[in-house]
Structures are given as structure tokens and as C-alpha cells.
Structure 1
């Protein structure tokens, strides 16, 4: 499980983009606070940050012609089996949304993709 650096979202191939959507859905739902070394940092932020990141992924999906279930655009929605938030507090998020998504992380993500045979023009 990995959240790609947000600067790469618009460059991700179809499989990685759709996989990112699934991972965001899982993390927003019952996966919230379930330890995973690659994404543990997201749990030190409000779930609202993940919602904002997920919006970037969904916007890119729609630009490419994919349909996104409208429920996921609700900040309180957490999937079919997880209890909705009562009223998730909105927070101002910067860019990057996660401070961990720095230049070193960007290079790490690019290297990870290259190992998979995916060469992006960044």
C-alpha cells in the first residue's frame, strides 16, 4: 500500500491510478488506523487530509473518463461497511497535503515506478 506523491497523480498509468483509488477507499473505510509501514504517516493527520488527497485521485480519474461513485466525494463517507463520520471537520491543507510527500519521497516514488517498468516524464 502506498500513496503516490501528489505531483505524480496526473502522470500515473491506468492501473496505478485505479489502484490508488482503491487504496484511498480502503484507508478511508475500515482500514483507517490499521498499521502499514508505508502509509502509517497518514494516521497522524486528520482523516480530512486523506479525503482531500482522494479528491485529487478522483478528479484525475474523471478527467480520463472513469466514473467515480458520488458517495466518495462526501467527506463523511467511509464505504459501505464503515460508519460514516458525523461531520468530519474540514481543515486547511497545504501543498503537499502530507509533509512526508517531499522531494525525497517524490524520488522514491519515481524509482518505485521505474522498477515496475513505468517511466514517467516528470
Structure 2
């Protein structure tokens, strides 16, 4: 489980991009607040932050020609089995969406991809 640094989203290979979408769906749904050391920081923010991050992923998927289920574009949607939010509060969120996505984390993500045989050029 990992949320890639947001600068990497447009550069991710197909498998990592689609995997990131699945990850976001799981976290937005019943995975919300389920502890996992690489994504625990996300739970210290509002679920709206994850929605905005997921939107970046879905935008990139659509740019590449993938069809995203429209339900996920609803900030209150949490999947088929999780109860929708009543009215998730919208806020202005600056980049990076997660403050943990700093330069050090970017290098960590690039190294993680490199270890998978994926070379990323910024």
C-alpha cells in the first residue's frame, strides 16, 4: 500500500497508475482509517484530501484513455459497500496535497520504482 508522490502520477507506468486507482478506491471505502505504515499519514487529514488526490489519479487515467466509473467523481462516494459521506466538507487544498509528499518522499518513491525496474525521469 502506497500513495505515490503526486508529482509522479503523470509519469507512472500503466500498472502503477491503475494500482494507485485501486489503492485510492480501497482507502476511500472500508479501508479508511485501517492502519498501514506507509499510508497512515493520510488518516491525519480529512477524507477530502484523499478525494482530491484520487481525482489527480483519475484525471491521468482519463488522459490515457481509461474509463473511470463516474461514482468515484462524487466526493461522498465510498464504494459499493461503505456508507457514503453525508456531505464531505470541501476545502482549498494546496499542493502538495499531503505535506509528507516532500522531496525526501519523492526520492523514496523513485527508488521504490527503480527497485521494480522502472526508471523515472523528472
Regarding TM over 0.5, the answer is yes
Aligned to 1:100: 100
- For structure 1, the 5+ residue unaligned runs are none
- Once the two structures are superposed, residues 55-80 of structure 1 have per-residue CA deviations (whole angstroms, 9 ceiling, x without a partner) of 00000000000000000000000000
> Where do residues 21-36 of structure 1 align in structure 2 (5 Å cutoff)?
21-36=21-36
- For structure 2, the 5+ residue unaligned runs are none
Q: Find the residue that maps to 1:98 and give its secondary structure.
A: coil
1:59 aligns with 2:59: yes
Number of matched pairs: 122
Take 1:44 and 1:121, find their aligned partners in 2: how far apart are those partners? 31
Take 1:47 and 1:9, find their aligned partners in 2: how far apart are those partners? 19
Take 1:93 and 1:110, find their aligned partners in 2: how far apart are those partners? 24
Aligned to 1:48: 48
Give the TM-score normalised by structure 2: 0.99
Q: Find the residue that maps to 1:51 and give its secondary structure.
A: helix
Moved over 3 A (4+): none
- Once the two structures are superposed, residues 38-95 of structure 1 have per-residue CA deviations (whole angstroms, 9 ceiling, x without a partner) of 0000000000000000000000000000000000000000000000000000011110
RMSD: 0.3
